[in-house]
């Protein structure tokens, strides 16, 4: 079944419209499936978000979007493609997704921040999609929880936009509010 949903675009949408689009997307219930058939998919998601199959990049964005809808992260940290009849491991170098664009509405505690993912999906940063900083060999890795244990690493320009908001608003510790939750941007917090 080919992926027919277009990717979500943030530009020109209010966050209420965006939330309605997010709510309309019906993703497969991979959290409810637990097939016995397991193996390795021969797939890898590189640190930059490129998906590979048997060493070759997957060049069809719709195929990547389709695979991303049946991906979940197991409690042991492994990433799996899951269908009702099988689950196949995927090697992931950093995170399954990248947050590549953001839009912000409001100020201070009333602010809401939307993040567009490289998978064509979007999330609104908040209690259901918290932001955290993870120590990484490349420096702090800002990550947002997407779904089923999967995270998106924020692209540096997106993180810098958040930092600009935090500095302008002067919170101590430095951080941002979104959807009623505060997210420190300092690893020591």
CATH of the domain at 173: 2.30.270.10
CA angle, 160 as apex, 155 and 164 as ends, to 5°?
155
Q: Predicted confidence band at 114 (pLDDT cuts at 50, 70, 90)?
A: very high
Q: The tokens of 59 are what?
A: 């060049």
State the Cα–Cα distance between residues 104 and 114, nearest whole angstrom: 6
CA angle 159, 161, 166 (to 5 degrees): 95
82 and 110 co-located in one domain:
no
As a whole number, mean pLDDT of residues 68-84 equals 94
Q: Are 103 and 162 in contact (CB under 8 A)?
A: no
Q: What is the pLDDT of residues 144-160, one digit of tens each?
A: 999 999 999 999 999 99
| CB neighbour list of residue 49: distance below 8 Å, 6 or more residues apart | 97, 98, 118
For residue 49, is it within any domain? yes
Query: pLDDT confidence of 182, banded at 50, 70, 90?
Result: very high
pLDDT of residue 8: 66
Are residues 88 and 111 located together in one domain of the fold? Answer: no
Would you say residue 63 lies in a domain? yes
Q: How confident is the model at residue 181, as a pLDDT?
A: 96
Q: Note whether residue 167 is domain-resident.
A: yes
Report pLDDT for 145. Answer: 97
In a domain, 10, yes or no: no
- Please report how many Cα atoms fall inside a 13 Å half-sphere around the Cα of residue 15, on the Cβ side: 17
pLDDT for the residue 90 = 97
Segment 56-75 mean pLDDT: 92
Domain finish residue from 77, 92, 107: 92
Mean pLDDT of 89-93: 96
Residue 149's Cβ-side half-sphere holds a number of Cα atoms within 13 Å equal to 14
How high is the pLDDT of residue 22?
64
Give the domain CATH number at 74: 3.10.540.10
Residue 172 has pLDDT above 60, yes or no: yes
Structural domain count of the chain = 2
Are 31 and 87 contained in the same domain? yes
Q: Please enumerate in sequence order all residues whose Cβ is within 8 A of that of 131, keeping only pairs 6 or more positions apart, or say none.
A: 125, 142, 143, 144, 154, 162, 176, 178, 183
User: 99-112: per-residue pLDDT in tens?
Assistant: 999 999 999 999 99
Banded model confidence at residue 15, pLDDT cuts 50, 70, 90: low
Residue 54, domain extent = 26-92
The per-residue pLDDT for 95 is 95
Averaged pLDDT score across all residues of the chain: 88
> Using CA atoms, how far apart are residues 11 and 42, in angstroms rounded to an integer?
35
């Amino acid at each position: 079944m080919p992926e027919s949903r277009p990717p979500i675009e943030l530009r020109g949408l209010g966050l209420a419209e965006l939330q309605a689009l997010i709510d309309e997307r019906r993703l497969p219930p991979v959290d409810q499936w637990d097939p016995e058939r397991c193996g390795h998919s021969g797939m890898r998601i590189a640190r930059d978000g490129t998906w590979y199959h048997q060493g070759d990049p997957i060049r069809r964005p719709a195929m990547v979007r389709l695979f991303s809808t049946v991906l979940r992260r197991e409690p042991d940290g492994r990433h799996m493609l899951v269908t009702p009849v099988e689950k196949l491991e995927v090697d992931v170098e950093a995170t399954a997704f990248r947050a590549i664009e953001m839009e912000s509405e409001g100020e201070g505690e009333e602010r809401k921040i939307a993040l567009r993912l490289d998978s064509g999906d979007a999330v609104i940063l908040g209690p259901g999609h918290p932001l955290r900083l993870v120590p990484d060999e490349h420096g702090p890795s800002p990550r947002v929880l997407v779904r089923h244990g999967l995270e998106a690493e924020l692209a540096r320009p997106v993180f810098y936009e958040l930092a600009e908001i935090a500095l302008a608003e002067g919170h101590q510790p430095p951080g941002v509010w979104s959807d009623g939750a505060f997210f420190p941007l300092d690893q020591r917090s």
